[in-house]
Chains A and B, each alone.
Chain A
Amino acid sequence: MSFLKVKNLNISYPTRKETIIASQNVEFTLERGDILGIVGESGSGKSTIANAIINLIDPPGEITDGSIKIDNQELINDEQIIQKFRGKKIGFVFQDPQTSLNPLFKIKDQLIETIQTHLDLNYKEAFKKSIQLLKEVGIENAEKRIEDYPHQFSGGMRQRVVIALAISCEPELIIADEPTTALDVSIQYQILELLKDLTIKRNLGVIIITHDMGVIAETTNKVIVMRHGVIVEQGNTRDLLTNPKSTEAKSLVISVPPTNKKIDRFKLISPDGKEITSTSANLTKSIIKTWGVRENKNKMLLKLSNVSKIFDDGSISFTLNASTGNSQSKNQYDNDKVRAVNNVSFDLFEGETLGLVGESGSGKSTIAKIITGLVRPSEGDIKYNDMPLYNSKRKYQIAQSRGQIQMIFQDPYSSLNPRFKVKDIISEPLKFFQKKITKSELTQNVFDLIDIVGMTRQSLDRYPHEFSGGQRQRISIARALATRPRLLICDEPTSALDVSIQAQILNLLKDIQDELHLTMLFISHDLPVIRQMCDRIAVLKNGNLCEIEETEKLFNSPNHNYTRELIRLMPKIESIFQK
């Protein structure tokens, strides 16, 4: 007798034009003490299943067929039972800890309310239990912190509170929908350890939904692979990851960047199971013809010396200075200011890829923004090709680089103007830099660019919203290439994408770099990706540069404690082979 039994589950979303089938004949079981991982690309219906279990499918979606049973109790279409089960028997952990707690209530109130709804306890007992729960999820000084509001906790701490909330009524099943996607590596590690601990201690059934194969490898013991609402493969995590049978599972496993070695290109598998070899080499020929052949002379392209950025709030400094007025407290205040980037220096040579790695708030994006002139540095010099990028008044001299520095952004959904056709997005920089360009030259250039990023020419007449995240990122790359850049800054270019798409985009970037002799500054929080992409790596923490080292050296013998910590904590898909 299984604990959770899902049978023949069908969910569809009827829309005006078509009915989208979000899940089709889904069947699986879960025992107590098991951690089940559900993986799949975005839109494969993983979250839909989780929502179906707690009957939280958004209209117009509906469960058309099937059964979901917990301890032989049917859940579908029984609002009363599910109401009782939600919170009491099933705990839910959402992706974003920023929004899953009510910011207006103290942690105490949120916990006690939930506990009292489901358990027959008076206020004092519920309060006591809340403290005990917070201690259990590893919040120090729980007696005091329980009086705090959610905003007084950091992201990881907040996710712990959410987990405390989820286990507060002694549920037997926990569903965690991308519980660590919004968190940094070190915190992700702690949260996953916590979930594993709780599973054993309380004999829970846990479902983890994620797109991160590393997380799957390190935490789960069973796994389901989904595609288009259908389970394509399920089994023991170890068997499935070491010997995937379906194309989908194979493609998922193969596109994960290995953490223990550097590979040249990612292998890609097309839906019919064949391996794709990238062929952009001949496509770049026409581009190279218009650009002229470039050579990398290994000379210094970009030099940052002692760059700092202080984000200060003028109003605070005014009141502080006015109220105290003496120099000592002003110094004190200066030290308290948030230094997003603190005294960072590094060089970037032609043709190399430098990785900037660090957790959120480490200042890696700020550095990219300083180089591109989106944010002014507070101190320090930046030289591009031996010419200063900022003049004496700290004004950005865009003429110094003339489009030679371009950037690819993290969010493919906001980085393209939704009101422009793809054609216009790509041709705008072309027209801007070549005022005298003829119409046929322009069309030819746009064709070349769209070819090189591997999109069809038909896509030029469409609008960005008609494309998927990966395709949009390709359009972004085409736009960046339009100005004939020498330096390409990639700010987390793949963190919003699925693994297999990520592999494609990373391959594309590598190809383009090789063919066009680009220099790259690659920013990411994802160590495995950084390892595959970069020649040298700079590790940042809280705006400080910890160390800068050749990639293999850094991974094999890290010098700095923080680097060592990061490498130890990153989820490793290889760990499954060693178990």
Chain B
Amino acid sequence: MFLRTINKIYDTDIGYSFFNSKIAIISSTIFFIIFLCSAFAELVAPYNPFDPATVSLMDAFIPPIWSEGGTASFILGTDQQGRDMFSTMIYGSRISLIVGFASIIFAMILGVFLGITAGYIGGRYEIVVMRLTDVQLTIPSILMALLVDGIARAIITRSMHDEMAIYVLIFAIGISEWPQFARVSRASTLVEKNKEYVSASRIIGLSNILIMFKHILPNILRPILVIATIGLALAIITESTLSFLGVGVPPTTPSLGTLIRFGNNFLFSGEWWITFFPAIFLIVLALSINLLGDWMRDALNPKLKKR
């Protein structure tokens, strides 16, 4: 049964391209391992770093297992509070992935909606939307996120802030990513709306909403998926950067960026592992997603296919 499904996938062009690309196989494997680990962190991680009962300050600054003073119970060592690095990273990547996925989905829904409607309706509405994306694109995404975060801090009370931090972060990253989606979906919509199947739907009398989202949307999904994948890596990095700068998630629920920030303070005093492992982890995660996106772009675009 399973084999037959594999065979069926292999039979399609995209499946064939996947199984013949080493990069795609390796990067997707890495990504799914990280994804599953963070999804089932409770089962994978040896400790729960956020449970005060299991953390002891006595265990602080233990180096990784292979260096002098390392112990088998903490494979990658511990941080300044005595938390197991390996467990913290897995829990941290969960935050990073949640923020990454949520913000890219938010950006995708907003961007695609505005893009399709702009492309299909045209006229003044299109001009307003597209100039809005132009304005949005002139503001660097980090700056935009800082701005949103600043406003949120001013509005939300301090006690609320830690709870709301993750939502603010998702909104801040999402709002700085949507123009990409809007541009791509508008451009594709302009191509699709002149095709005769759209005319046929109009002659039948289908409503514009139905035409846009039932007929045009499935036909422009491919480029959107590609930028969503590459955007996911970008969103994770942006989240880490913000957390590194201290405006991201609160220290009580550290993401990868927060971990790097903590470790940064100890880098020159010799405890390199506290910042090194989260940093490597982040690089591997972002790289695997990016390579997957790269492959997807090539595979979904027949024009780029090698002969």
* Co-assembled chains A and B: yes
Which residues of A are interface residues toward B (Cβ below 8 A)?
16, 59-60, 369, 372-374, 398, 402-403, 405-407, 409-411, 414-420, 428-429, 432, 476, 479-480, 483
> Given contacts A16-B16, A60-B307, are A416 and B197 in contact (CB under 8 A)?
yes
| Interface membership of B151, Cβ < 8 A | no
Q: Which of A60, A416, A429 contacts B204 (CB 8 A)?
A: A429
Q: Which residues of A contact B307 (CB under 8 A)?
A: 59-60
Is A402 within 8 A of B219, CB to CB? Answer: no
Quote the shortest CB–CB distance from B20 to chain A (angstroms): 10
25 contacts between A and B (CB under 8 A): A60-B307, A369-B199, A372-B202, A398-B205, A403-B204, A403-B205, A405-B203, A406-B203, A407-B199, A409-B196, A409-B199, A414-B195, A414-B196, A414-B197, A415-B195, A415-B196, A415-B197, A415-B200, A417-B197, A418-B219, A419-B218, A419-B219, A432-B205, A432-B206, A483-B204
Q: Which residues of B contact A417 (CB under 8 A)?
A: 197, 201, 215, 218-219
Q: Which of B16, B195, B196 has the most CB of A within 10 A?
A: B196
Q: Which residues of A contact B205 (CB under 8 A)?
A: 398, 402-403, 432
Question: B280-307 CB contact bits vs A (8 Å, 1 = yes)?
Answer: 0000000000000000000000000001
Quote the shortest CB–CB distance from B300 to chain A (angstroms): 14
Quote the shortest CB–CB distance from A51 to chain B (angstroms): 16
Quote the shortest CB–CB distance from A557 to chain B (angstroms): 37
Quote the shortest CB–CB distance from B203 to chain A (angstroms): 5
Instruction: Give Cα distance in the complex from A432 to B219, angstroms.
Output: 21
> Given contacts A418-B219, A419-B218, are A374 and B204 in contact (CB under 8 A)?
no
Q: Which residue of chain A lies nearest to B205 when distances are taken between CB atoms in the complex? A: A398
Q: Which residue of chain A lies nearest to B200 when distances are taken between CB atoms in the complex? A: A415
Q: Which residues of B contact A411 (CB under 8 A)?
A: 196
Q: Which residues of B contact A59 (CB under 8 A)?
A: 307
Instruction: Give Cα distance in the complex from A344 to B152, angstroms.
Output: 63
Instruction: Give Cα distance in the complex from A415 to B204, angstroms.
Output: 13
Instruction: Give Cα distance in the complex from A569 to B82, angstroms.
Output: 93
Chain B residues 183 to 220 lying within 8 A of chain A, measured CB to CB, are 195-197, 199-206, 215, 218-219
Instruction: Give Cα distance in the complex from A483 to B201, angstroms.
Output: 12
Is A374 within 8 A of B202, CB to CB? Answer: yes
Is B196 within 8 A of A410, CB to CB? Answer: yes
Chain B residues 86 to 121 lying within 8 A of chain A, measured CB to CB, are none
Instruction: Give Cα distance in the complex from A402 to B204, angstroms.
Output: 8
Q: Which residues of B contact A410 (CB under 8 A)?
A: 196
Q: Which residues of B contact A398 (CB under 8 A)?
A: 205
Quote the shortest CB–CB distance from A523 to chain B (angstroms): 14
Instruction: Give Cα distance in the complex from A418 to B196, angstroms.
Output: 11
Q: Which residues of B contact A403 (CB under 8 A)?
A: 204-205
Q: Which residues of A contact B219 (CB under 8 A)?
A: 417-419
Q: Which residues of A contact B215 (CB under 8 A)?
A: 417, 420
Q: Which residues of B contact A483 (CB under 8 A)?
A: 204
Instruction: Give Cα distance in the complex from A59 to B205, angstroms.
Output: 45
Q: Which of A402, A411, A428 has the most CB of B within 10 A?
A: A428
Is A373 within 8 A of B197, CB to CB? Answer: no
Question: B29-61 CB contact bits vs A (8 Å, 1 = yes)?
Answer: 000000000000000000000000000000000
Chain B residues 235 to 290 lying within 8 A of chain A, measured CB to CB, are none
Instruction: Give Cα distance in the complex from A374 to B197, angstroms.
Output: 12
Q: Which residues of A contact B202 (CB under 8 A)?
A: 372-374
